Structure 1
Amino acid sequence: MTRIIINGSEMTSRERAHEYLKDMFGFPEYYGKNLDALCDLLNEKTVPVEIRLINSEDIVKLLGPYGNSLLDVFKDVSIENENIIVDIS
């Protein structure tokens, strides 16, 4: 199982958040850098991936409502794709 630790304090803007996520997940160059694209690529995972979100409160603090939507994507994907396990702390 692949384990990825995502640090919410790294997400200082929408653009930075998506660049950071692209790097952490190794997304392809065509990654659309938006919530729909994030959801799509995570749902394509066919091998188990454990995602641990640390400093998740910083995501909301730094990105406001967009941060809440970003966290919702991770929660939704963990329900939709049995290969994705999400731990938000």
Structure 2
Amino acid sequence: MEVVLDGRTLRSEEDFHQALCEALEMGPYYGHNLDALWDRLSTDIERPVTLVWTHSAESRKLLGPVFDQIVDVLKAVQQQDAGRDWQDRFDYRLE
């Protein structure tokens, strides 16, 4: 599955979490924070899934340091899956 997030619409950390929650159908109990992001992406999301973050440069400007924190979580999930040598993995692209 490929999930596309449009960075032009992600003006806050909450916008990011809301968009991802809707795209991946995370349900009402998703915590909308970085710890919850790790928990859901590292264990609950069915693979394979690729997150494509379009216009990410615009998001980087709008989100500031939070952008890098989010990307760090995405990278950690990607590395976890690679380390487990799973055929179906989480991946992401910043465009």
TM-score (ref. length: structure 2): 0.82
The aligned residue for residue 75 of structure 2 is 75
Q: Which runs of 4+ in 1 moved over 3 A?
A: none
RMSD of Structure 2 on Structure 1 (CA): 1.4
Deviation at 1:81, TM superposition (A): 2.2
Counterpart position of 1:6: 5
Deviations 1:2-61 (A, max 9, x none): 111122222111222211111111112100000110111011234211111111112211
Spell out the pairing of 1:1-89 with structure 2 (5 A cutoff). 2-44=1-43, 45-82=45-82, 83-89=89-95
3-state DSSP of counterpart to 1:81: helix
**Structure number with bigger Rg:** 2
Change (3 A) 1:57 1:5: same
Number of equivalent positions:
88
Q: What fraction of aligned residue pairs are identical, expressed as a percent?
A: 31
Structure 2 unaligned spans of 5+: 83-88
TM-score, normalised by the number of residues in structure 1: 0.87
**Unmatched segments (≥5 aa) in structure 1:** none
